[in-house]
Amino acid sequence: MVYTLPGIRLNTLPSISHSGADRRSTVAASSSTNLSLLLRKTSLTRKFIAGRSESQSFIVGATEKVLDNSSSTEQLEALDEDSEHSKINLDEEQVDEINEKDFVASPVLVEDIAAMEEVDLVSLFDIDKESEEIRKLSIPPPGKGERIYEIDPLLSNHREHLEYRYSHYKKIREAIDKYEGGLEAFSRGYEKLGFTRSKTGITYREWAPGAKSASLIGDFNNWNPNADVMTRNEFGVWEIFLPNNVDDSSPIPHGSRVKIRMDTPSGIKDSIPAWIKFSVQAPGEIPYNGIYYDPPQEEKYVFQHPRPKKPKSLRIYEAHVGMSSTEPMINTYANFRDDVLPRIKKLGYNAVQIMAIQEHSYYASFGYHVTNFFAPSSRCGTPDDLKSMIDKAHELGLVVLMDIVHSHSSNNTLDGLNMFDGTDSQYFHSGERGYHWMWDSRLFNYGHWEVLRYLLSNARWWLDEYKFDGFRFDGVTSMMYTHHGLQVAFTGNYSEYFGLTTDVDAVVYLMLVNDLIHGLFPQAISIGEDVSGMPTFCIPVQDGGVGFDYRLHMAVADKWIELLKLRDEDWKMGDIIHTLTNRRWSEKCVCYAESHDQALVGDKTIAFWLMDKDMYEFMALDRPSTPLIDRGIALHKMIRLITMGLGGEGYLNFMGNEFGHPEWIDFPRADQRLPDGRFIPGNGNSFDKCRRRFDLGDADYLRYHGLQEFDQAMQHLEEAHNFMTSGHQYISRKHEGEKVIIFEREDLVFVFNFHWYNSYSDYRVGCLHPGKYKIALDSDDSLFGGFDRLDHKAEFFTFEGNHDNRPRSFMVYAPARTAVVYKLITDVVDPTPLGQHHVSLPDADVA
């Protein structure tokens, strides 16, 4: 189907199946919800949408004091300045002490694993009834919030701050329950604000307390500001009702352009509605236009496939739809659905994390300067195209995570929220506090009631309407601290996390949004991008934590770049182990060797650090390799495997990096002259470096193919053994002279030899389980671009006797720059004494 907007032609895919009724129609609420609604009607009939437009803070009750961030921090007494180092910061002696004990070293508690297994058994709602069923759910009330002190006794030294934080959270929950009918109802702000359709017409509401007058304009009324003038209530909400046409058709045609014209303190301005569901930039125009998106029922995409169950181990493929084509173009949701999703599934990943979904006027912002928070990016297609893409992912068994941006907003005043009602303080902090100088963007005021409604409803919208399975929250460190983590080195001292620089309002918002996510969508996943290592970050809100499921383990990628700048001789095995395992007990992490950050122009991917310009000339198998290429291919595989093996309970890879993508990412851009006179050259608006050359990884005559095959084998090994979430982890060896690392995950033994030329025959490997071992994964396999120095038919039998603090061991050949994973085949102890096992060796070693 093709439909046309004035000057715009948009394509959408044919609807696979249709529903005979509006699947988003309101259903009868449960008795508890009816009671909440009754309470709202009797106690707050005059307070429409609980706004308090005249204040940047909000009122908990008539007799309660105003809660704002300044008072929340100033009331805290000076905290103890004694150095208290977090459990996340273990020195190497402590790591050695830990490794001398045989214990469950994975930061997954036993009860967490049991809970994960229980989740797998939970039956899901029928996808066509999910929204109705979710409305009937009630989000559990706040708990005592005290289990954090059992998990980490050091937190007791900061109990005053943490108790204040939790009491602040509880007061907001109580206020939402009292004035809004609960968090479930509060998070459906999109059913009150923005455009809402009824049988008799369309209602449009907009919160713009700073505006003096407002009118709805668009194609439907020839942009006449006098045709549809809006009225304002006492809380700054503007409203208009447009009755159906005489033929009972919609007063605003589907696909037509709309804006709100306001007389503001900054002058007359036309803005895209803040709650708009779709916006488009017409060819040849700079500003975007809001689009009234309400296709006929028979053209709406209807979801067919249930959500996949939450996986025990997250293996995330980070992707950007627009740059996912092999051609220099902006790719579409439909092409991503048909071409890229099957690739992700084949590679063995179980989750896809989609970047740049929320509409952003500036393409080169990578989607992080959001202008329209409820609208999917129109560059890649329509909202229904996106729904079809997500449904296909679910059909393939892939969890779909959205890279959501609630940490800041675009500075754009034409298309976004900035200066929406002519003031700088509507959605954001005013003045310097509301501006992020490094990102050139606006910062939300999380202490404002309507900001909470807007952001919580935004999270709910993407989960409910589009069936996303969770979020990766961007820039959380910037949210949680008034210094935004800029020019601050976190050392692990607890005073850095629980002091006057902590933005309590922002932390409480994160607690609320995690309440919402997990309360209404129990299978949903929340990941926070936090570089600070804040304690309690991944502890449930009921226990006093912030409530995330995972923290991004961002230090690992930085460590690899640091090491790649050194000679191989200077790599410290203990340093690698320390970085990979240095994380908080019981708080899960998603690790990665590199993400999209390292792929951007101005930075380097791991493959580029390793092989540099040789990648352009020596990656064909019919041409001789070079020492740089051989080293690069070997270390590229080893770095990824050890990161997955020890770095966390989840793993992330940015698309194309699995095969060592040779190009950086450079968005199309024109030459630019800055106000200070400086000239910044562009790239001729070229898309050549804004794509992914998947054809290189698929070409079996190129060395990229071996890297891709290894990554696929690595993912499938984890799928078979779930070693990232294994209850058993033991690091038995990290030898600096030999450059060898050995560790166990469940019934697997990982052996890494990082030495650049030393290979070790009859090398003794300590292990826990007795029996027979065989090679499960070999980075030196010729299929993966290796030298085939190991015999994959060989069997390795254990013998009794302590070695590296393990009760038994077996003998292997450990070639230089090779990682090998050995799998336990039987649990039968082999009685053969030491020295009588034969290990096949190659005729010649390759240095």
**Three-state secondary structure along 186-243?**
HCCHHHCCEEEECCCEEEEEEECCCCCEEEEEEHHHCCCCCCCECEECCCCEEEEEEE
Rounded Cα gap, residues 189 and 172, in angstroms? 17
> For 402, phi and psi rounded to 5 degrees?
-110, 135
Burial class for 592, CB neighbours closer than 10 Å (0-12, 13-18, 19+): buried
Residue type, 711: D
pLDDT in tens, 130-140: 999 999 888 99
Rounded to the nearest integer, the mean pLDDT of the chain is 85
Alpha-carbon torsion 417, 423, 429, 435, what sign? positive
Rounded Cα gap, residues 610 and 633, in angstroms? 8
CA atoms in the 13 A half-sphere facing the CB of 32: 12
pLDDT in tens, 554-611: 999 999 999 999 999 999 999 999 999 999 988 999 999 998 887 676 678 999 999 9
> For 69, phi and psi rounded to 5 degrees?
-70, -35
pLDDT at 374 over 50: yes
Q: Average of pLDDT values for 102-112?
A: 35
CA atoms in the 13 A half-sphere facing the CB of 599: 26
Q: Which of 633-642, 688-697, 785-794 has the lowest mean pLDDT?
A: 688-697
How many CB atoms are closer than 10 A to CB 10?
17
pLDDT in tens, 797-844: 999 999 999 999 999 999 999 999 999 997 554 444 443 433 333 333
DSSP code string of 646-684 = HS-SEEEEETTGGGT--S-B------EE-TTS-EE---T
Structure tokens at 668: 């199309």
**Is residue 183 classed as helix, strand or coil in its secondary structure?**
helix
Per-position b or e across 418-436, b if 16+ CB within 10 A of its CB:
bbbbbbbbbbbbeeeebbb
CA dihedral of residues 712, 713, 714, 719 (deg, nearest 10): 90
| pLDDT value of position 784 | 98
Q: Which run of H or of E encompasses 165?
A: helix 159-180
Return the biggest CA–CA distance within the chain: 95
Instruction: Report the catalytic residues.
Output: 474, 529
| pLDDT value of position 399 | 98
Rounded Cα gap, residues 718 and 819, in angstroms? 15
Rounded Cα gap, residues 175 and 321, in angstroms? 40
Q: Average of pLDDT values for 631-653?
A: 97
Which residue is listed with tokens 């189907």?
A: 1
* Sheet strand arrangement including 799-803: 760-767, 806-814, 799-803
